[in-house]
């Protein structure tokens, strides 16, 4: 239950630069001070401390019947949400990323002042999350080419700035580099099948799936499933064609894509270098996990403040 004057414990990522961080923190303070709402704002200057600061905020929120609030992009939101799920703490979001799939899906205003005001009258609702082994994901998780693309994109963003154009350029550069195909075994409902694919993408966000044209699976998310997408092995030009289809919202009509919904799925790798560990991206953050990978949907564990 959310108290009318429940304090907010806000964790804000300062990744956008000092001036932008100052502006955003001032907006948050002004709106909440004007409303007379108690809050504590922690700004994360060093990304390596994000998880520790998120854990502190969750402990304080739990101890004081408050709400932990993630202010940042999908990676920041994921880190704070992970702590909130483990502790059973109320959770809220002030999205600040480039794409903001999670915030937009749940109707959170993109304007920061409006998003803060929306927290003041929001209602608590359970939000579906995905898990791969013990890591949660709110938007997507992936193995293969996609994690590599994300790593290259972060490097390019540091050099050229954060924009959709830079993201597109980085994707093309990665695509025309060295692409290694995965050989994996997927087990679902006791049935195994073999796949060879450049990447396995698991989606938990209807907006993202709609944008690339996977309409049936985006609707299935509302019924408590996750969506798996795996392109067939293609040439570089073939992969470029798939990317263009996705950009145009037509990926679902391609014969070169395996796409299916599931609630639980085990993925084992076959004849891949690197031993039992594999690179996995969850909401834009890349880590190494041990195989086999178990992807599953989890309902009711994340209690989130959503705008009325």
HEC profile for 2-47?
Answer: CCCCCCEEEEEECCCCHHHHHHHHHHHHHHHHHHCCCEEEEEECCH
Which parts of the chain fold into alpha helices (H)?
18-35, 50-63, 74-87, 101-105, 112-120, 145-160, 164-175, 206-212, 215-220, 236-247
Beta-bridge partner residues of 177? none
Under 8 Å between Cβ of 142 and 280: yes
Under 8 Å between Cβ of 126 and 98: no
Write the burial class of residue 104 (CB in 10 Å: 0-12 exposed, 13-18 middle, 19+ buried): middle
Strands 226-231 and 199-203 turn out to be antiparallel
Under 8 Å between Cβ of 295 and 308: no
How many helices, marked H, and strands, marked E, lie in the chain?
10, 16
Q: pLDDT tier at 237 (50, 70, 90 boundaries)?
A: confident
- Please report, rounded to a whole number, the percentage of residues in the chain having pLDDT higher than 70: 90
CATH 3.40.50.10330: which residues of the chain?
8-121
Q: What is the pLDDT of residues 82-98, one digit of tens each?
A: 999 999 999 999 988 77
**Tokens representing 152?**
């290259």
Looking at residue 177, the DSSP 8-state letter turns out to be S
User: Would you state the pLDDT for residue 293?
Assistant: 96
Kindly tell me if the per-residue pLDDT of 272 is higher than 70.
no
Taking the C-alpha atoms of residue 98 and residue 94, their distance in angstroms, rounded to an integer, is: 13
Q: pLDDT tier at 19 (50, 70, 90 boundaries)?
A: confident
Under 8 Å between Cβ of 257 and 233: no
Q: What is the CATH T-level fold of the domain 137-298, as seen in this structure?
A: Tumour Suppressor Smad4 (2.60.200)
Residue 137's SS3 state is: strand
Kindly tell me if the per-residue pLDDT of 80 is higher than 60.
yes
Instruction: Quickly tell me which residue has 């099948």 as its tokens.
Output: 193
Taking the C-alpha atoms of residue 58 and residue 51, their distance in angstroms, rounded to an integer, is: 10
Kindly tell me if the per-residue pLDDT of 212 is higher than 80.
yes
Q: What is the CATH T-level fold of the domain 8-121, as seen in this structure?
A: Rossmann fold (3.40.50)
CATH 2.60.200.40: which residues of the chain?
137-298
Strands 257-262 and 226-231 turn out to be antiparallel
User: Would you state the pLDDT for residue 271?
Assistant: 60
């Amino acid at each position: 239950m959310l108290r009318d004057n429940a304090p907010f414990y806000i964790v804000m990522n300062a990744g956008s630069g000092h001036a932008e961080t100052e502006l955003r923190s001032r907006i948050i303070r002004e709106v909440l001070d004007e409303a007379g709402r108690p809050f504590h704002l922690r700004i994360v200057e060093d990304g390596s401390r994000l998880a520790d600061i998120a854990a502190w905020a969750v402990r304080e929120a739990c101890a004081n019947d408050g709400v932990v609030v993630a202010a940042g992009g999908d990676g920041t939101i994921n880190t704070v949400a992970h702590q909130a799920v483990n502790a059973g703490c109320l959770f809220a979001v002030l999205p600040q990323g480039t794409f903001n799939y999670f915030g937009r899906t749940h109707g959170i205003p993109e304007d920061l002042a409006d998003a803060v005001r929306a927290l003041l009258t929001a209602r608590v609702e359970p939000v579906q999350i995905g898990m791969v082994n013990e890591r949660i994901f709110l938007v997507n998780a992936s193995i293969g080419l996609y994690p590599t693309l994300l790593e290259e994109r972060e490097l390019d963003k540091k050099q050229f700035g954060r924009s959709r154009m830079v993201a597109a350029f980085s994707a093309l550069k990665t695509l025309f580099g060295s692409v290694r195909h995965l050989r994996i075994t997927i087990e679902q409902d006791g049935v195994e099948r073999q796949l060879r694919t450049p990447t396995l993408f698991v989606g938990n966000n209807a907006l993202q799936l709609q944008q690339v044209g996977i309409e049936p699976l985006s609707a299935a998310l509302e019924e408590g499933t996750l969506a798996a997408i795996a392109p067939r092995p293609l040439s570089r030009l073939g992969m470029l064609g798939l990317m263009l289809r996705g950009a145009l919202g037509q990926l679902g009509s391609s014969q070169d894509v395996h796409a299916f919904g599931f609630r639980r799925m085990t993925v084992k790798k076959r004849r891949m270098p690197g031993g039992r560990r594999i690179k996995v991206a969850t909401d834009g953050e890349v880590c190494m996990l041990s195989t086999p990978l178990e992807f599953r949907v989890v309902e009711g564990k994340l209690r989130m403040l959503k705008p009325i």
